[in-house]
Structure 1
Amino acid sequence: LRVWLDGAGGKVAKVETINDTLLECRGLLFAHGSLYANANNSKALYRLRDTNGDDRLDEVTLLKKTGGGVGHGRNDLALGPDGMIYLIHGDSVQIPEGSSFRTPPLAETFRREGHLVRTDAGGTRWEIVSTGLRNPFGIDFNPEGEPFTYDADNESDMGLPFYRPTRVNHLVSGADYGWRQGGNSWPVHAPDSLPTTIDIGHGSPTAVKFGTRSNFPPAYRRALFILDWAYGRIISVHTVPRGASYLCRAETFLRGRPLNVTDLDFGSEGAMYFVTGGRKTRSALYRIRYTGQAVNAEPPTSQERARAEYSRRARILRLELERWHQPGTGPAVLDPIWLQLGSPDPWIRHAARTALEHQPVASWRDRALGAAASPALLALARVGGAEDLPKVVGALTGLDYGGFGVRERLEMLRTCEVCLRRMGSFGEETRTGLISRFEPHFPARRPDENRELARMLVTLGSPLAVPKCLALLAQAESQQEQLHYLELLSRAGGSPWTMPQRMTFWRSLVRARAFDGDRSLAGYVDGIRKRALASLSAADRLTLGELVEWKGGERVPTPEAGGRKLVAHWTIGELSRGLAGVEGRPSFTRGKEMYAAALCVHCHQMGATGVPVGPNLTAVASRFGRDDLLEAIVDPSRVVAEVFRNHVIVMAGESRETVMGRVIQNDFRQSVVTLATNPFAPWQITRVAKNEIASHEISPVSPMPPGLLDTL
């Protein structure tokens, strides 16, 4: 749609439909005399042009189709300072065919990751700029030409060791931000990733925009505005140069109930415009104007000037290294790259290692093997051939682990982990050599180093891994840390255990059933139990008794059938009219009783109460108005988020058995589809072999039944 405002800008004067055939255009950009549309449900980027000068976009050209799903889909567009069109995609979208990569050519199969990709005005050349994101919806560039996004969390992972909150990321060339599905995300301290610019917390990110074109006071003209759909707020993120990147501080700029914000921009007069809506809720256009007197920026202090100049030079150096994030740059670049591998700035160090990984391995292999605890060894582990990996591990066993600082030690552990993943296993001599290097330094002083040392020593089969991990489990201050060590110990079945040690482990695991978390927690704890149970002998099971015999992880009672009588088949109109006449203060006690009577508590979480089968309702009033909530309750199938849809699988063979449930895991590399088939017991899962499936469809019917209010 194209909308005209009246002269005063206070009312909509005219609305014109530009196009109604492109489905769910999450990204729109006018550039190079054309309108570009990232049409998510059409699964493509389109260009619209006016070919005859009549002010109508009469030509629609398909520039690129992209495979994959639409949930975490084809999102925002932005024009880069280089004149290229930047597209930000979620992890449902496949990499565009024919793309070149600024990320290193890792020896891995295709992974589902969100990514930043750019193309030229004609959509002929495509290049992946950075990867390892989950569902970044918006993208914008600051005045220095640096791109930023606001990436989503996986709310079902809340409470688990690998949970990542929503976060703002400074997107740089060749970066992999480490998001992986199924609990396989890299730790935030991984040396081959990059630090979070700022963690925001729980939320549902949508658009982002710098206030550069606003007429707001100076601090807000420099700020990045990010939108949180779930909690109904606009957040201003204030950035300060720090080395080759930025340091940030966030504050709530605007909050509403509801304020389900989806997009924003700034007009030519400097006002902010934002839109609300989504999931078929009511949509509206808002404007925020600054009406105070013009404010000039305070002159920078000498310290601020020095910091800005230092950061400017650091960014220039990083950008120079990023020019070599492509093959064929020649051997002359190796010396300047090598010089920056030891930079104290992680962004420069990352740019240098990525540049090295793009160069022919033969030109730097020997130099890397002779480097002590250098990022070059990690680079060789990542992109070297199979014949290089034993040499990398051999170099690691010859290093004095305790003689290095924390950064180098984490680098050594990560290098070892990458080699092990690619090689599958180590020989006995290598295994014992690495254990002798790492074991004397475990436990260490820092939690991040302890987590990686524990992971490596359990994998290597250290005889001291079990008692040392149990000691750290006892000292752990958070449930995430406890779950980390419980998960590692469940994989240490081949290590020596005493019965008191097993008792300690199982008592801790039983307590973990009561941990707070979201949809993935019950299955995660049950997975730990099943792995640990598989390593027990019959005699051990008998001795441990009830500790190993627990079932599921119920947090509320099973719902009782037939406990209430039908009152009426309520309609949205009847309920809306009835609520309009309600006066006085609400009774929260009665509301809580109704919430339980309508069975909401059995499938939704409100604060720490309930079971997280469906959407979390803690902040639902921030994104849904009263009528939108009524529609969602009375007609639950009207809008069903992709993540909560049931899948219907019909098995091959004469039985034609039907399995229905929410898909927990359906990784393309696995031979089975894993479903949660009982919404009242989400820990109960069913695995279906893919080669036995006759048909697999997504149900349009919500798992939430209608009529839940009819007994009230």
Structure 2
Amino acid sequence: MKSLLLSARTGTSVSRLARVAGRSILRAGVVAGLLSASLVSSTPASAAGLGVTPADQFKVPDGFEVELIHEVAADTEGSWVSLTVDPKGRLIACDQSGGLFRIDMSSGKAEVEKLDIEFVGAQGLLCAFGSLYANVNAREFPCGLWRLTDTDGDDQYDKKEHIIPLNGGSEHGPHALILTPDGERIIMVAGNNTNLPENIAHSRVPEVWDEDHLLGRMPDARGHNANRMAPGGFICSLKPDGSDIELIATGFRNPYDIALNRQGELFTYDADMEWDVGTPWYRPTRINHVISGSEFGWRNGTGKWPAYYPDSFGSAVDIGPGSPTGIVFGYGAKFPKKYENALFISDWSYGNIHAVHLSEDGSSYTGSYETFATAAPLPVTDLVIHPDGALYFAIGGRGTQSGLYRIRYTGDLSADETKPAAVTADAKQLRELRHRIEALHVDDDALNVSVEDAIQLAIANLGHEDRAIRFAARIALEHRSPAAWKDAVLNAESGQAKILGVVALARTGEASDQVDAVNALQSIELEMLTADENIDYLRAAGLVAIRLGGFSDSQREALLDKIAGQFPSGVDSLDRELAIMAIYLNAPGSTESVLAAMQNSPSQESQIHYAMALRAAKEGWSQDLRRDYLAWFNEMKTARGGMSFGGFLDNIKKVTVDALSDEDKQSLADVLAKPKSTAEVAAGPPREFVKEWKVDDLVNVVSDSARKPNFENGKAMFAAAQCYKCHRMGLQGGILGPDLTSAGGKFSPRDMLVSIIEPSKVISDQYGSTQFLTEDGEVVTGRVINMRGKELNVMTNMLDPSSLTKVNREGVIQTRESQVSMMPNGLLDTLNEEEIADLVAYLRAGGNANHAIYTDPIATK
């Protein structure tokens, strides 16, 4: 069972917890007696230090075996970042800063040959159409797509053509290449620092992208990508000669690879922005189902769109912090069916290969994932399924030690009774409908139906219950002139269809359409909408104001009447959007109510969202409200997040401070004064010790069906314990630990107690850590999250993810899997029985006040 909680001790301040959790660097002289036995049993490193990660240090599922095929020589072979299989079954790899290498394994061992052609830095390779295609992203070689061919039959590529020039050189440049489902074209992906190719013949994405923030955005606090605007990273397809470029999707941060499932559906694994951790605009690494014309909402700084926006398609599976690299479906692998049908994804920074198990969700997909292979360090760059039925992968990048590995299944495949998930008729029909609509994502002269029929099909599906179909229908409209469909969508019977019609009109219309768009929104009864539809409504209204023109006084009053009394709704995502709209409309009392929400939210992310919105508030500020608002920034000095976290807070605060008069600044001098540093902040009085609780002490207490638990007390205990720092409950909380929303459906009350009281009993691979014993006599315990050359960056404190310890891999003499959880012990020792029972009930209910735990009649004895 996974360890459920990684939170801080109840009643202890964050600063104190950071000091406790950060005691991860231990002198060997202090811990020698505790660690010597286990370290002796681990695999020793080479004399030169850690060297390439040994195969026997991998953790893989039962029946699988990892082999180190080739240890890449750094001085002559570099650090490999991409792989492909050529028509003869040989692997081709590219060094990030050097040449191309061919690996022949037909003799039983890896025979490595450097190809006789000057080439550098391909981060995408594909053998197709009698050529080797290479997508270069390097500073020392012209970037973009190259086609290499063997013109004289000597088994060497002697001709190279630069068929699509692109800018590159950053790590967010041109990346992977694959074939389209019909094998006739090439699909290419690129990160958000890559400009769109010139001479795009057609765009399935309506070319109307913009930033679209009702209250504006702020760039990254450290200046990263401050000048990079929409459309962000993209995916396009092209003919084998590089012509007829078609833009498929935009709005990515930095996906490295793409893959097609058996139904021909496209997927990618997009990057997070690790500096955003702890903020409401942080988006975890995620699997995206890439449908035609899709937009995924990357914007720089605070501007990243939430997944729930109707004009952003969101994710199929959220993974968490990491650094996405190669992905591949397991098709053709001689693996049990569960894994043959999995999407394997690589996380370069945390050293994992995950197996993502996708399942149909209407015409799109959802799913889950598990860690398939892991070791430390393991900077996986690319992976392929070879015709021999094995999975091959390379590690390397940024000059790190590179190696080539193979994973085979050595168990009994005949004993595998796993049945592949059936393709349901309903899902198939929905995908076919979506594909029919996606066929309309072309110009009018390329339609295979009349323009009238195209518009009719799109409008008929604007209110479809399937989100992907609704998305495709709106995009189909945006490819047509609004004059041809405006009246029909603005008079649609379905409230949702009308809302999405307004979104399409706001994105493609003109200022003269503003009044009609607002009137359409005014005709919708919000009480008849779901929470998600209300969010769509608010987004549609915001887009009208952003793109078609601000609201008149009468329009403003009408919209205020619409949303009056809705905030707070108790639905976090809806409340965030209501706060933005109320502040934009200058709603009476909005400043006070949003400030109250900021103060009362147990989620750090939600508090920051409201603080960000309040920087634009102009209504109802009193000196007391300003004092409370500014004091909040001082309280947040003990909060933790990514590298830009503190800078973001400083920049938000600065907007308010710069607008103060000299008189106000003098009056508020006490809260404007620079607070003491985190290290100087007193820990505060800890809760009194109650008991060193054991699992058996509490099983009956937390399982008592005759006791009615207190929701508010359970929620308070979850917040007071700082669980939100690492864990998500619903839409609130952190992302460094497991999401606890569904924990109650997976684990018994006893299981939960075991995970809290005995966190090191079972440690999930996903949240485990490594101990590095150095030649200087130190043991560093944590998770490798970044590396360059010989330097490993180890996160030793999950409550302070930006605080990293640097370890020189040449000075590491031994490594082992840590047997101690990064979650502290004694979390419940300052709680009494009633508080523990309410906390466990809150976990079992997934933070839902309407759960049966709270609403069903209590059992009678």
Cα deviation, residue 442, structure 1: 1.7
Aligned pair in 2 of structure 1 residues 30, 587: CA closer, same or farther (>3 Å)?
closer
Aligned pair in 2 of structure 1 residues 588, 345: CA closer, same or farther (>3 Å)?
closer
Could you tell me whether the CA contact under 8 Å between 1:3 and 1:12 is conserved in 2? Answer: no
Whole-angstrom CA distance in 2 between matches of 1:556 and 1:356: 56
Aligned pair in 2 of structure 1 residues 341, 531: CA closer, same or farther (>3 Å)?
same
- Structural mapping, 1:184-583, within 5 Å: 184-295=303-414, 298=417, 305=422, 308-328=424-444, 329=447, 330-371=451-492, 372-373=495-496, 374=498, 375-423=500-548, 425-492=550-617, 494-550=618-674, 554-555=677-678, 582=775
Of the candidates 77, 98, 103, which is equivalent to residue 205 of structure 2? 103
* Partner-residue secondary structure (3-state), 2:651: helix
Cα deviation, residue 44, structure 1: 1.4
Whole-angstrom CA distance in 2 between matches of 1:617 and 1:25: 30
Letter in 2 for 1:28: L
Of the candidates 113, 120, 129, which is equivalent to residue 15 of structure 1? 113
Whole-angstrom CA distance in 2 between matches of 1:524 and 1:6: 51
Cα deviation, residue 370, structure 1: 1.7
- Structural mapping, 1:56-75, within 5 Å: 56-67=156-167, 70-75=170-175
TM-score, length basis structure 2: 0.64
Letter in 2 for 1:92: N
Cα deviation, residue 554, structure 1: 4.9
Aligned pair in 2 of structure 1 residues 416, 18: CA closer, same or farther (>3 Å)?
farther
Could you tell me whether the CA contact under 8 Å between 2:773 and 2:779 is conserved in 1? Answer: no
Whole-angstrom CA distance in 2 between matches of 1:297 and 1:369: 55
Letter in 1 for 2:452: P
Could you tell me whether the CA contact under 8 Å between 2:513 and 2:548 is conserved in 1? Answer: no
Could you tell me whether the CA contact under 8 Å between 1:105 and 1:383 is conserved in 2? Answer: no
Cα deviation, residue 606, structure 1: 4.2
Letter in 1 for 2:635: R
Whole-angstrom CA distance in 1 between matches of 2:480 and 2:106: 58
* Partner-residue secondary structure (3-state), 1:48: strand
Letter in 2 for 1:228: D
- Structure 1 range deviating more: 361-370 or 199-208: 361-370
Partner residue in 2 for 1:49 = 149
Whole-angstrom CA distance in 1 between matches of 2:653 and 2:635: 12
Cα deviation, residue 604, structure 1: 9.3
Could you tell me whether the CA contact under 8 Å between 2:641 and 2:801 is conserved in 1? Answer: no
In the TM superposition, what whole-angstrom CA distance separates every residue of 1:649-695 from its partner, at most 9, and x where no partner exists? xxxxxxxxxxxxxxxxxxxxxxxxxxxxxxxxxxxxxxxxxxxxxxx
Could you tell me whether the CA contact under 8 Å between 1:356 and 1:379 is conserved in 2? Answer: yes
Cα deviation, residue 294, structure 1: 2.0
Partner residue in 2 for 1:26 = 123
In the TM superposition, what whole-angstrom CA distance separates every residue of 1:342-397 from its partner, at most 9, and x where no partner exists? 11111111111111111121110111222344211211111112221232123223
Whole-angstrom CA distance in 1 between matches of 2:173 and 2:151: 30
Cα deviation, residue 122, structure 1: 1.0
In the TM superposition, what whole-angstrom CA distance separates every residue of 1:501-546 from its partner, at most 9, and x where no partner exists? 2232222221122211122112211112112223434443333231
Could you tell me whether the CA contact under 8 Å between 1:473 and 1:486 is conserved in 2? Answer: yes
- Structure 1 range deviating more: 361-370 or 396-405: 396-405
* Partner-residue secondary structure (3-state), 2:177: strand
Aligned pair in 2 of structure 1 residues 456, 69: CA closer, same or farther (>3 Å)?
farther
Partner residue in 1 for 2:704 = none
- Structural mapping, 1:655-674, within 5 Å: none
In the TM superposition, what whole-angstrom CA distance separates every residue of 1:555-588 from its partner, at most 9, and x where no partner exists? 569xxxxxxxxxxxxxxxxxxxxx99959x7456
Could you tell me whether the CA contact under 8 Å between 2:191 and 2:254 is conserved in 1? Answer: yes
Aligned pair in 2 of structure 1 residues 232, 107: CA closer, same or farther (>3 Å)?
closer
In the TM superposition, what whole-angstrom CA distance separates every residue of 1:282-319 from its partner, at most 9, and x where no partner exists? 11111111112224764759xx64x6222111111111
Aligned pair in 2 of structure 1 residues 344, 47: CA closer, same or farther (>3 Å)?
same
Could you tell me whether the CA contact under 8 Å between 1:231 and 1:260 is conserved in 2? Answer: yes
Partner residue in 2 for 1:575 = none
Letter in 1 for 2:193: S
Letter in 1 for 2:122: C
Aligned pair in 2 of structure 1 residues 182, 14: CA closer, same or farther (>3 Å)?
closer
Unaligned runs of 5+ in 1: 558-578, 592-599, 630-712
Partner residue in 2 for 1:150 = 269
Sequence identity percentage: 35
Aligned pair in 2 of structure 1 residues 312, 94: CA closer, same or farther (>3 Å)?
same
Aligned pair in 2 of structure 1 residues 460, 385: CA closer, same or farther (>3 Å)?
same
TM-score, length basis structure 1: 0.77
Letter in 1 for 2:368: R
Root mean square deviation of aligned Cα: 2.8
Letter in 2 for 1:485: Y
Cα deviation, residue 467, structure 1: 1.8
Letter in 1 for 2:650: D
Could you tell me whether the CA contact under 8 Å between 2:775 and 2:812 is conserved in 1? Answer: no
In the TM superposition, what whole-angstrom CA distance separates every residue of 1:607-662 from its partner, at most 9, and x where no partner exists? 257794xxx637x77xx844699xxxxxxxxxxxxxxxxxxxxxxxxxxxxxxxxx
Could you tell me whether the CA contact under 8 Å between 1:555 and 1:611 is conserved in 2? Answer: no
Whole-angstrom CA distance in 1 between matches of 2:385 and 2:812: 28
Whole-angstrom CA distance in 2 between matches of 1:232 and 1:251: 14
Partner residue in 2 for 1:89 = 190
| Number of matched pairs | 585
Of the candidates 804, 810, 831, which is equivalent to residue 617 of structure 1? 804
* Partner-residue secondary structure (3-state), 2:639: coil
Of the candidates 284, 288, 309, which is equivalent to residue 165 of structure 1? 284
Whole-angstrom CA distance in 1 between matches of 2:328 and 2:282: 26
Aligned pair in 2 of structure 1 residues 458, 312: CA closer, same or farther (>3 Å)?
same
Whole-angstrom CA distance in 2 between matches of 1:198 and 1:280: 31
* Partner-residue secondary structure (3-state), 1:473: helix
Aligned pair in 2 of structure 1 residues 140, 296: CA closer, same or farther (>3 Å)?
farther
Aligned pair in 2 of structure 1 residues 464, 297: CA closer, same or farther (>3 Å)?
farther
Could you tell me whether the CA contact under 8 Å between 2:641 and 2:800 is conserved in 1? Answer: no
Partner residue in 2 for 1:3 = 102
Cα deviation, residue 107, structure 1: 5.9
Letter in 2 for 1:404: L
Whole-angstrom CA distance in 2 between matches of 1:298 and 1:312: 25
Cα deviation, residue 58, structure 1: 1.8
Whole-angstrom CA distance in 2 between matches of 1:112 and 1:361: 22
Cα deviation, residue 131, structure 1: 0.5
Whole-angstrom CA distance in 1 between matches of 2:105 and 2:284: 42
Cα deviation, residue 189, structure 1: 0.4
Could you tell me whether the CA contact under 8 Å between 1:39 and 1:46 is conserved in 2? Answer: yes
1:80 matched to 2:180? The reply is: yes
In the TM superposition, what whole-angstrom CA distance separates every residue of 1:126-178 from its partner, at most 9, and x where no partner exists? 01100000000011111111111111111111111100011111111100001
Cα deviation, residue 402, structure 1: 2.4
Could you tell me whether the CA contact under 8 Å between 2:167 and 2:173 is conserved in 1? Answer: no
Could you tell me whether the CA contact under 8 Å between 2:640 and 2:799 is conserved in 1? Answer: no
